[in-house]
Amino acid sequence: MGSSEKEIPQDLQLEQQLQSQGIKTERDGEGKLHTAAGHGNLATDENGNPLVTFDPVAVRKLRWKLDLYTVPTVSFLYLFCFIDRANIGNARLAGLEKDLNLQGFDYNMILSIFYISYIIFEIPASVCCKWMGPGWFLPLTSLLFGIVSVATAFTHSRAAICGVRFLLGIFEAARRATFRLSLYMVMAPLAGAFGGLLASAILTLDNFGSLHAWRMIFAIEGIITIGLSLISFVTLTDRPETARWLTAEEKELCIARVKSERIGATEVIDGIDRKKIWSGITNPVTLEIAAIFLFNNITVQGLAFFLPTIVRSIYPEFTVVQQQLYSVPPYAVGAFFVLAYPALSWYLDRRQVLIALTSPSSHRALRRHLLIASSTMVLGPMSNAQISANVVSDTARSSAIGFNVMMGNIGGLASTWSYISWDGPDYHIGNGLNLAAASAILIIATLAWLWMKRDNKRRDGRNAEEELAGMSPAEIADLDWKHPGFRWRT
């Protein structure tokens, strides 16, 4: 049991109130009262209001330290893992199809193989991450991801590249399971932009060892991923208690701060529990966001895999390097909006309405420098942020985000067949599918927002104290979003 960093005035009535809510207290040598933030204790009342206050300066210092140790490593891992996933589009321009003798729909089939394994293993990977701990799970799976990417450089047949893409999907599912913060998602569009630049630079080389042309792309980018994964073994951690770079006081503050935002929660990182896993998946917000993310990925993943091909069909007279470079601008625009939208969301403390507003993109924007990326890319961070805000336990959050990503990759699977070579350069099928997906997002997000507002009003009429009477802290924690004091965060 540890104590939070914020002193509470010596007040017997307050002490009794905290103890009645299951919050243990203790006094230091000077008789000053502190709240205990250890295992099994609540940090909110029955209506979800925090029972403790925090020194804002200490919280800012803690947040900065957490960001310093985790955000750079995880962001760059995400960047290069996304590059390793999507660089097949760059490799296609550099002769992949010719060298592997791919015909007809072979390229689309290779893309589909990746998503089949990704979809199958996404939720099991989330559970495995809970069991192993993200501090080991993320570096290990990223290492394996990089190794498989390098192996792609040595494939010489359609069957071989299908095999490595299937393995890549498994490790991508595992790696993605631990990404919780929307800030990391800016690396997706940056990966598209940087991937084009990096591919262009790599293709100016005569060779990389015995490798040439498109094989160099997979090898060099995979090696970078391997190096970053080795660094992450040192910088990442499973939970506050195991963070070697946090002081005891910072660990206590981190635990108390997280629990104060989760109604009925008695643990920051809880154990694997089937009930909580199911609660996260069946959460109404999880279901509607997952449906939105499915439609969104039809566009986003379509861009990731086919953008270089679309650029080639528009500018066939350009060199391969020039075509690679022309795939950069849309992703640069997307990266800006991936930062701008969450920033606006944080300022307004609203997400659902902003999610709905991402949908009215012109499906013809692909022809006009592909500015569709300005809105489609933002749903990666926005969707996971909205889900995280509307679940309580860590296990429910893991399963909910895992389900969201799985559904998104069903959309990704559909996207592998949205741009067919004979449909270029206007790509009526792909662009029409994007327009339909955007319309579905607008309808689902708007209806969900109206429902959330209505359900919150209904919950306002419930008596949380009466409904929770006689329930143990463990039973209350299991309620998650069904807790009478819980309110949907729109």
Which is higher by pLDDT, 255 or 16? 255
Report pLDDT for 178. 36
Q: Which pLDDT does position 44 carry in this prediction?
A: 61
Give CATH 1.20.1250.20 domain extents, the chain: 56-243+263-460
The dihedrals phi and psi of 8, each to the nearest 5 degrees, come to: -115, 135
Distance of CA 120 to the CA centre of its chain: 18
Q: From residue 133, how far is each of 39, 67, 233, 271, 277 by CA, in Å? A: 18, 19, 12, 11, 16
At 207 the pLDDT is 86
> What is the spatial distance between Cα 401 and Cα 407, in angstroms, rounded to a whole number?
10
Helix (H, G, I), strand (E, B) or coil at 8: strand
CA distance 258 to 210: 51
395-417 average pLDDT score = 86
For the residues 417-427, what does the mean pLDDT come to? 79
The angle subtended at Cα 159 by Cα 122 and Cα 155, nearest 5°, is 95
Residue 282: which pLDDT band, with cuts at 50, 70 and 90?
very high
Give the per-residue pLDDT at 289.
Answer: 94
Q: What is the pLDDT of residues 355-386, one digit of tens each?
A: 887 775 544 444 444 556 656 777 877 888 88
As given in the structure block, the two tokens for residue 119 are 């979809």
Cβ contact 393:276 at 8 Å: yes
Q: What is the band of 391 on the pLDDT scale with cuts at 50, 70, 90?
A: confident
**Alpha-helical runs (H) found in 21-133:** 56-93, 96-99, 106-132
Tokens 């498109």: give the residue: 214
Angle between helices 134-152 and 214-235 (to 10 degrees): 170
* pLDDT of 179: 38
Give 3-state DSSP helix, strand, coil % of the chain, rounded to 5.
70, 5, 30
Mean pLDDT of the chain: 76
Spatial distance between the Cα atoms of 390 and 393, rounded to a whole number of angstroms:
10
Place of tokens 């919150």: 456
Q: What is the CA radius of gyration of the chain?
A: 24
Banded pLDDT at 444 (limits 50, 70, 90): very high
**Residue 449 identity:** W
Superfamily classification of domain 56-243+263-460: MFS general substrate transporter like domains (1.20.1250.20)
Residues 6+ apart with CB under 8 A from 273: 393, 395, 478
Contacts (Cβ under 8 Å, ≥6 apart) of 471: none
Asked which of 178-187, 298-307, 366-375 is least confident by mean pLDDT, the reply is 178-187
pTM recorded for the entire structure: 0.70
Q: For a pLDDT cut of 90, what percent of the chain falls above it?
A: 10
User: How many residues in the chain?
Assistant: 490
